[in-house]
Amino acid sequence: MLLSTSTASFPTSALVASAPSLLSRRHRAWVALYALDLGQWARPDVLRLNNVTEEDLAEFEASWMQLRCRNIDRAA
């Protein structure tokens, strides 16, 4: 897996973790994968704040990689 396991804490004071998300599980997993890729936050915090599991990340990692590659190709 290419994801970082940084130990930095996510700035939770700026977030409302109890608010229900309008995003689908897939989109929440993508947001979490982007956050983990940046390597600035602790993995458990990212999972909790995005309301996803390790299984969700594994399920949607391939589609996230396709999305990233497509966006890189467009930027080039």
Is residue 62 included in any domain, yes or no? yes
Is residue 3 included in any domain, yes or no? no
Is residue 37 included in any domain, yes or no? yes
Q: Please count the structural domains in the chain.
A: 1
Is residue 9 included in any domain, yes or no? no
Task: Check residue 15 and give its pLDDT.
Answer: 44
Is residue 6 included in any domain, yes or no? no
Tell me the residue range of the domain where 43 lies.
Answer: 23-75
Is residue 17 included in any domain, yes or no? no
Is residue 45 included in any domain, yes or no? yes
Task: Check residue 46 and give its pLDDT.
Answer: 97
Going residue by residue through the chain, which has 76 residues, state the pLDDT in tens, using 9 for 90 and above.
444 444 455 454 444 444 567 999 999 999 999 999 999 999 999 999 999 999 999 999 999 999 989 777 677 6
Is residue 40 included in any domain, yes or no? yes
Task: Check residue 9 and give its pLDDT.
Answer: 52
C-alpha to C-alpha distances, 54 to 9, 14, 25, 60, 71, nearest whole angstrom: 18, 24, 12, 10, 24
